[in-house]
């Protein structure tokens, strides 16, 4: 009986360790450039959650050399509507788009671009884009987020 209990504990510890390693080395955030203004002072970064298990909470967005941008929001939309390249949610042309504070939104599961590109997307699906406005041209974006309580950081170079 004691041998069976020890074996069960060993199997559980190995399984949990394997799961933790898998989660740590397979980050769930899908981040990709969507568009920018001509001077690259306004940038749109599409974000999604590849995971099927838990939501992602974006905590911080930095640009260039770890500088806080002047304006950061997240747009929430559906695949058929898309997004607008604007860092001013109050602008007249942005009134038909849904902007939220970065900390107010959690990225739902299965919202990565592979899901959208597979043709399974419908008007009920949700897509997200981080809208970043800065005083200078943006050449790098760093997104800090949490998944299952673990901290992650994704860096995107703006080559588009």
pLDDT in tens, 10-35: 999 999 999 888 888 889 999 999 99
pLDDT at position 118 is: 62
Examine the pLDDT at 128 and tell me if it is beyond 90: yes
28-157: which CATH architecture? Sandwich (2.60)
Q: Each residue of 72-107: pLDDT tens digit?
A: 999 999 888 889 998 888 888 888 999 999 999 999
Identify the band that residue 45 occupies on the pLDDT scale cut at 50, 70 and 90: very high
Angle at 59 between CA 100 and CA 125, to 5 degrees: 50
Number of neighbouring beta carbons within 10 Å of residue 110: 15
CB-based contact 43:70 (threshold 8 Å): no
| Global confidence as pTM | 0.85
pLDDT at position 122 is: 60
* Domain extents in the chain: 28-157
The Cα–Cα gap between 25 and 38 comes to 35
């Amino acid at each position: 009986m004691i041998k069976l209990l020890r074996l069960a504990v060993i199997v559980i510890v190995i399984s949990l360790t394997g799961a933790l390693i898998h989660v740590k080395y397979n980050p769930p955030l899908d981040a990709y450039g969507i568009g920018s203004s001509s001077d690259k002072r306004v940038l749109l970064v599409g974000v999604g959650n590849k995971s099927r298990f838990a939501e992602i909470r974006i905590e911080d967005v930095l640009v260039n050399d770890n500088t806080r941008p002047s304006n950061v929001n997240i747009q929430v939309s559906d695949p058929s509507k898309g997004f607008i390249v604007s860092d001013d949610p109050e602008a007249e042309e942005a009134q038909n788009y849904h902007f939220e504070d970065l900390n107010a939104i959690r990225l739902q599961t299965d919202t990565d671009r592979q899901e959208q590109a597979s043709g399974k997307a419908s008007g009920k699906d949700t897509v997200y884009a981080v809208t970043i406005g800065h005083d200078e041209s943006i050449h790098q974006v760093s997104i800090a987020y949490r998944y299952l309580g673990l901290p992650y950081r994704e860096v995107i170079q703006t080559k588009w």
